[in-house]
Amino acid sequence: MLGTGSSDGWPNPWCAKPCCTALVEAGIVRTQTSALIDRVLLVDPGAEAPRQAMRQNISLAGVRYVLVSHVHPDHLDPAFLMYRSWVTTEPLTVVGPKPVIDACKQWVQGPGVEFVTITAGRDVVLGPYRVRALPAAHEAHGEACLYAIAGPDATVLWGTDTGPWAPGVRQMLAGTTLDLVLLEETFGDTADTTGGHHNLATFATAVSQLREWGCAGPSTDIVAIHLSHHNPPPEHLYLRLRDIGARAVPDGTPIVAGGVRTSLIL
Ligand SMILES: [Zn+2]
Ligand SMILES: [Zn+2]
């Protein structure tokens, strides 16, 4: 996980309440949610993603696929395509719904970048990964997608940003066994989930639905991401998530998903 925070991060740098000032004093920072899978598949390249990788001593030079959920700036800063074009023409495939691809195209200079416009219900194959786009319940400018990503070692659900499962998700996940669920839980104990986000209550319901559907089992690792200052203090949040059978991890935490890996990418 490159970042695990909401768009404003947690702490929100402008917040004067203990939910944020206590974390500022403790030096605990959650930046915008982004992930790097096997060092080749970058998911949701928000503005902070390149530096998140740098601070974790991880080069992005090996990235060949970029998967984008929606066009909100915490999930996509397309300028990375220009910065990359200054140093390499190695092939790169960028996948996202139409507003994402439209936003990206103007930033490409030179050869090497391929765009794939995807919509909920469609699959795309990216090297060793089969990716299925699912509908997100989220108010974006145009379509927002979630992704089920089946790789050589594990199947991962990228579940941000979204509120309670949109119609069709259950059917599109039928028969899928998830090793890792990365599901947003933006709003903590706040009742207002305006815009299409989870709070702790709706997160718990969404997790139990995955279990009812047979998509998540005892060995499924469920990690809450996109966390904001509306959440309880970290030590309480970890206990609340434990009660749901989930956890949260700090920014920069490596997560090993699935079975024993035959080869580690170092
Ligand atoms: Zn977001
Ligand atoms: Zn969003």
Architecture of domain 18-244: 4-Layer Sandwich (3.60)
| 76 Cα: distance to centroid of ligand 2 (angstroms) | 10
Give the C-alpha separation, 9 to 60, whole Å: 22
| Model pLDDT, residue 261 | 46
Check: CB of residue 41 under 8 Å from CB of residue 62. Answer: no
Residues 81-93 have pLDDT tens digits of 999 999 999 999 9
106: number of CA atoms within 13 Å, CB side? Answer: 5
pTM, rounded to two decimals: 0.95
| Model pLDDT, residue 263 | 47
Residues 152-175 have pLDDT tens digits of 999 999 999 999 999 999 999 999
Q: Where are the alpha helices (DSSP H) in the chain?
A: 18-26, 49-55, 80-85, 98-105, 169-173, 200-212, 234-244
| 7 Cα: distance to centroid of ligand 1 (angstroms) | 5
Check: CB of residue 85 under 8 Å from CB of residue 93. Answer: no
Band (pLDDT 50/70/90 cuts) for residue 34 is very high
Count each helix (H run) and each strand (E run) in the chain, helices first.
7, 11
pLDDT, mean over the chain: 95
Return the ligand number nearest the Cα of 144. 2
Mean pLDDT of 32-40: 98
| 1 Cα: distance to centroid of ligand 1 (angstroms) | 15
| 162 Cα: distance to centroid of ligand 2 (angstroms) | 8
| 90 Cα: distance to centroid of ligand 1 (angstroms) | 29
